[in-house]
Structure 1
Amino acid sequence: MQEVLDYFDSVVYNDLPAHLIYVPEMRLINRADIFGIVRPHEVIHNQMVLVLDSWTAKARAKATLMKHLNYAIFSHRWLREGEPTFADMQTPAAKTGPGFEKLARFCEKAKEYDCIFAWSDTCCIDKSSSADLDEAIRSMFKWYRNAFICIVHLATSSSLDDLSDDPWFTRGWTLQELLAPEQIKFYGTNWISLTSHLNDKDTDEDTHTSIMRVVSKVTSIPFGQLMNFQPRTHQIAMKMSWAAMRRTTRIEDTAYSLMGIFDVSITIAYGERERAFFRLLQAVVEGSRQGTWEVLAWLGERNPYCHSLPKSPVSYKPLATLQRTWSSGQISQSDIPWAFACGDPSLQISPRGVEVNVLLVECTSTLDESNLHHVLSPTGTAGERDDSYDETVAIQSDSDRLALVDEFALGVLDFWNDDMDEGLLKANQEYICLFLGTGPTSTALFKVRTNNIITLKVRRDVRSKLTKVWLA
């Protein structure tokens, strides 16, 4: 008995949100209040018929108790004003207006799923408490994952044809609210169900997946990821591309809303602006040893806290687009390098910059006749052209940047990593590169910003010593 009760305590205090709506009374409760509502001793005594000394009986007891903790969670687009707050839920007179009406409709749907508890981000977070806010932001993905059902309200959609224009798909926080739940239900304008099914992620029948096929097309998120997303630190560019077209009101939330998707945690510090995204990338790299090179393959605005990293997720969209093109076979190659362990597993990000091993390919540079971009030609150690690679590589970069470069090289990021000191490039494959150079006063390599993702086609197998570079 005590083991089961301890399990119940652990779930309440570790897996459930700090505050919930008690649906029958539409009042806000905290975790301690749950014990007075569910009464775990009585549940076990009344419903368990086997001796609790057996493993099976204990498992059944836990499952029975967990059914009494089912909660519905809300995903929606906030109104410009009038959403009920944590303080409003303490004041009966404040429970009026369009925001509260929306909350009431959500709770009605929760009842239909036999959930006596519900959670909404508008009123279930005490934003006056930094500890409460910090826990909510760090735990948000987990709370959506643990919910019995996620109720999504698409206020501007009356059919599946409207989904592409619904603002819910443009907000930063709703990305994890789409990916995390195991069960989800979409409602449209006037709370009309957009499908005839209880769970829109139900895959028992093909017809159940129709709305998720539309969502996949609208979001560019692969169908399999929508149906069974697992948070990890790999596939950085792909996940960043999902967030690229989404917006958050606070700059920092661009990073905070992605913590759960990458399964990392960083401290919450509103006011730090783009530094939050820098710290997110730092945490992702620290938590992974596969594919971390992707953090360096970006285009666009630099992060003011580390110029070798980008300012926001949108900078990773070009790489993700290229990866999808290669994966679909539009570019012929015998294999895809990043499907395996590749790149530098010891890549490190610190406040001083990025330290990474690359497979260095020396090049000569010429300006093409149109004067629009430079052309690099891989060379051997003696300066002759190296026919292990395609003859030329086009570089799109501003002329004022190139004027600062004396000698040129390409740093291959996604080499095959089968040796600590050497990298391998396989024949007939394309690889992602950094454009590197040395200046007139130093032999140290630095990254030259380009306007295109640089790829290098390899004609035959190349094995070479790796070169460590420091990118400020």
Structure 2
Amino acid sequence: MRLLNTTTIRLESPWSAPIYAILSHTWGGDEVLFADICDPQKPLPFSKKGFRKVSDSCERARQDGYKYIWIDTCCIDKTSSAELSEAINSMFRWYHRADRCYAYLSDVNVPGEPTVDFENSRWFTRGWTLQELIAPRDVRFYDSQWVLLGSRQLLRGTPLADNPELKDLADIISKTTGIPVEILRWFSPKSDSPLVRRRSRKAGLDKYEPIHALANYLKACGIGQIMSWAAYRFTTRKEDEAYSLLGLFSVNMPMLYGEGRRAFHRLQQEILKTSNDQSILAFERQFYSDSSSLLADSPRCFASSEIEQSLKDGPLLSGSMPFFELSPSPKAVDAGVLLCPLIRQGKEDNTRYLAILNCIYRSDFTSHPAIVLRKIDDKSRTFYRTPRSGLHRITPIDHEGWIEWSTVVDGVSNRIRYDLNKVYFETIRVYLEPPQRIFNLPSTVGPLASLYTPGMRIKLDIPELTGFSFAAYPHMLQVAKDRVYAPSITLPSWPKRFMGDQTPETNHLALFGTIILQFEGLGAVALSWGKSCVPERGDLSPEPFCAIMDWFKVVRASQDKDLPAFDLDSSALQSAVEFLYATNSWSWVSLLATKPDVRAEHNTSRMKVQCKIRTVEFFGRPLFELELSILPQGRSSFIDMVRFSFS
């Protein structure tokens, strides 16, 4: 740790740990950097605009009896990534060990220029100054002319309170920042407190070293509450939103500038390794509603946090103590939570659950926040957080209640019901990010949107028929003897469903493909497949489907009177398929579509089509496989409909 000599304004590296002061400020233009003063042979940078701040800081510290002062602009060699990383991880400790911190408010009482009140200073809006406000034991505020404004707290009865006019600013600061007064007044140098008192005769000052005092105060606060203190603070670099909070949570991690929001995710993962405080999940997605991460993307997500850590007088349910434990994989956490299955359209949803967190609201110690988790599959206790559901408040009077989804369909609010009588405790694994095989569809439709669907492989069992032909949209078919394969594709733009007024609505099928099999004298059958979902209803995990239908019925229903029913090689095929999708996609999914691993049968007066649908893997990739059997039927009245039977 380099220190600035307050007399020579030169950098020194003392062998022992001397008593020193420290400066907290907001950066401006033309600051004095390490390269400007590291060489003692070079003259001091008097011409730099920031030099006056450095020299005035040294003068103030020297008058208070300090030989050394630490200033972040010039005491760190930021060209060295190793030194910068070490400094950022040590910053909180350096401020904590400082004997006094000078908070310099450069925009307060500026002669001849616009000025602001104390509580409106830019100093209170910066990310790094949060820890610089809390960590030191003695913080004193000065205006632009180094006039003393007051102290974070008065240290009465100690040599540090040597100024009888020193004003206690804790109440004003608490109102401005949202930080409880108890945190601002954490340092209490009483003679009977567990402090180690050390006198430095050379400096002529008393120095008190608290034993875990601040750490205990911070642990008493919930993680969500501490995050809320940083919600309205800003940093020049996005990564510093996380790095500036390391000391407040007593964690360390490497600096990786350029990673963006991932830095804040890494911070939360480090916190999860040492804390079981579930308030880390009690945040709103109002700023990043498209995120599907278990963790928050920014401290701003905690802006409206009224959450506190749970009381330590017992678990939420008898015999169930919620906990967090980082799993062996860094992609998930194991958590003990209270789960409540959600009820949708009168039926219990076996995929979505209300997870009641083990933390409380400051204004109501009996209410708990809850989030919505979605099960990845029915065979395991693995979940991920749904992206479009916010934080829900569970109160004692809401024994049964509703969860409002963030989207509506046809003007009707989408709500899911819960019944707290069904709550049970379970240890589950929650993914930090949904696995890659779970695709979340964006809420808007655009040309860049894409989603892959499994390919289709057909095993044919047909009698000796003449005039047998294939066609497909939008695939290129591969045919080999009794097998047909259509590879998976990505559409350049998504089709849209049309309502009665022909207004295009958001798609209900993610992707689809169609193969048409024509049999001379018998007719034609269309096989369609893909992944279906309804984003407006919060259904963001597309489900595979497969459908079988009478192709001639589709052609005759088309508004294109010139559409050739039998010319499967013509460009009109695309128009017919798109018309089918645009006008029938909703009924297509709800009535005709079947999930894989079922049997379907399609009958007309001319032929019977039997189909066994299943999902297989081909070198780790999902693939739809159909065993298709075509049988001629005796002539009778033409039945123009599709019928399914399942086994």
- TM-score, normalised to structure 1, is 0.67
Q: Do residues 466 (structure 1) and 453 (structure 2) align?
A: no
Offset of 1:409 from its aligned partner?
2.7
Give deviations 1:399-436, integer Å, cap 9, x for gaps: xxxxxx875431112179xxxxxxxxxxx932221223
Tell me, in whole angstroms, the C-alpha distance in 2 between the residues paired with 1:311 and 1:258: 14
Tell me the residue number matched to 2:297: 311
What is the aligned partner in structure 2 of residue 104 from structure 1? 55
Q: Could you say which structure has the greater relative contact order, defined with CA pairs below 8 angstroms and 6 or more residues apart?
A: 1
> What is the match of residue 248 of structure 1?
235
Tell whether the 8 Å contact from 1:356 to 1:469 is kept in structure 2 after alignment: yes
Structure 1: which amino acid aligns with 2:32?
P
- Establish whether residue 204 from structure 1 lines up as the match of residue 156 from structure 2: yes
Distance 1:93 1:467, change over 3 A: closer
Aligned twin of 1:433: 370
Distance (whole Å) between structure 2 residues aligned to residue 434 and residue 175 of structure 1: 29
Alpha-carbon distance in structure 2 between the residues aligned to 1:147 and 1:447: 42
2:128 maps to which residue? 173
Residues 24-173 of structure 1 mapped to structure 2, 5 A cutoff:
24-32=7-15, 69-79=18-28, 81-89=29-37, 90=39, 91-158=42-109, 162-173=117-128
Counterpart CA distance in 1 for 2:173 and 2:355 is: 38
| CA distance 1:457–1:303, shift in 2 (3 Å) | closer
The CA deviation at 1:339 is: 5.4
Deviations 1:6-60 (A, max 9, x none): xxxxxxxxxxxx111111211111234x6xxxxxxxxxxxxxxxxxxxxxxxxxx
Which structure has more helix as a fraction of its residues?
A: 1
* Cα distance change, pair 306–271 in 1 and its aligned pair in 2 (3 A): farther
Distance between the aligned counterparts of 2:51 and 2:94, measured in 1? 22
Distance, in Å, in 2 between the alignment partners of 1:458 and 1:251 is: 40
Name the structure 2 match of 1:410: 354
Distance in 2 separating the partners of 1:147 and 1:435? 45
Match of 1:19 in 2: 2
TM superposition shift of 1:466: 1.8
**Structure with larger Rg:** 2
What is the SS of the residue equivalent to 2:354?
strand
In 2, Cα distance between equivalents of 1:440 and 1:264: 34
Do the aligned partners of residues 470 and 452 (structure 1) sit closer, same or farther apart at CA in structure 2, a change above 3 Å counting? closer
C-alpha spacing 1:220/1:200, structure 2 compared with 1 (3 Å) = closer
Q: Which runs of 5+ in 1 are unaligned?
A: 1-17, 35-65, 324-335, 367-376, 384-404, 417-427
> Alpha-carbon deviation of 1:163?
2.1
> Which residue in 1 is equivalent to 2:451?
none
Instruction: Give the TM-score, by structure 2 length.
Output: 0.50
Correspondent of 1:264 among 248, 251, 255: 251
Alignment of 1:314-393 (within 5 A): 314-318=300-304, 320-321=305-306, 323=308, 337-338=310-311, 340=313, 344-348=322-326, 351-365=330-344
Please identify, of 233-242 and 428-437, the stretch whose mean Cα deviation from structure 2 is larger: 428-437
CA contact under 8 A between 1:357 and 1:467: conserved in structure 2?
A: yes
Q: Distance in 1 between matches of 2:359 and 2:184?
A: 30
| Percentage of pairs with the same residue | 31
Unpaired segments ≥5 residues, structure 2? 158-163, 188-213, 316-320, 400-419, 435-647
Paired with 1:115 and 1:166, the residues of 2 have a C-alpha distance of: 27
Which residue of the partner structure matches residue 282 of structure 2?
297
SS at match of 2:24: strand
* Aligned mates of 1:200, 1:117 — CA distance in 2: 22
- Aligned counterparts of 2:368 and 2:122: Cα–Cα separation in 1: 37
Q: Which amino acid aligns with 1:317?
A: A
**Aligned-pair distance for 1:316?**
1.8
Q: Secondary structure at the match of 2:174?
A: helix
For residues 129 and 266 of structure 1, what CA distance do their matches in structure 2 show? 17
Is 1:238 paired with 2:225? yes
Shift of 1:277: 1.1
What does the per-residue CA deviation read over 1:159-203, in whole Å, with 9 as the maximum and x for residues that have no partner?
A: 9981232111111100000000101110012111113xxx54224
1:222 to 165, 180, 194: 180
Q: Post-superposition shift, 1:457? A: 2.6
Superposed CA offset, 1:289-315 (max 9, x none): 3x2x12222222569997111111111
- Structure 2 distance, partners of 1:345, 1:74, is 40
CA contact (8 A) 1:169 1:246 kept: yes
CA RMSD for the aligned pairs?
3.4
Counterpart CA distance in 1 for 2:127 and 2:330 is 26
Within 1, Cα distance between the matches of 2:170 and 2:283?
A: 29
Give the conservation status (yes or no) of the 8 Å contact 1:149–1:181.
yes
